[in-house]
Amino acid sequence: MHDSERLARAPVLGKTQNREKIMAKLPALVDAIAEVDGRDRATIDHVARVIREAGYIPTTKRGSGASEMTAREAANLLLALKGADAPKDGPLAIDRFRSLRQEETPHSGVNYEGFSQLPIAIKNVAEARTFGEALEALIDGAPELSQCLRQCVFEAYGEPRAPLIFKMVETGSFAGVEVTLKRYQAEVALWRNFAGQPETDFITTFLPDLERQEAGFYGAGTKDHRVAVGFGFPTLIHIAQTLSPDERR
Q: Which tens digits make up the pLDDT trace of 149-158?
A: 888 777 777 7
Over residues 78-103, the mean pLDDT reads 95
Range name among 66-75, 88-97, 193-202 with the lowest pLDDT average: 193-202
For strand 185-194 and strand 175-182, is the pairing parallel, antiparallel, or unpaired? antiparallel
**21 against 155, higher pLDDT:** 155
CB 9 within 8 A of CB 55: yes
Over residues 28-47, the mean pLDDT reads 94
Range name among 36-45, 63-72, 196-205, 226-235 with the lowest pLDDT average: 63-72
According to the per-residue pLDDT averaged within each range, which of 7-16, 19-28, 97-106 is highest? Answer: 97-106
Range name among 109-118, 132-141, 153-162 with the lowest pLDDT average: 109-118
Over residues 165-182, the mean pLDDT reads 82
When the pLDDT of each residue in the chain is averaged and rounded to a whole number, the result is: 81
DSSP, residue by residue, 94-106: HHHHHH-EE-S-T
Of the candidates 75, 126, 121, 72, which has an alpha carbon nearest to the alpha carbon of residue 102?
Answer: 126
Of the candidates 39, 79, 199, 187, which has an alpha carbon nearest to the alpha carbon of residue 125?
Answer: 187
pTM of the model: 0.83
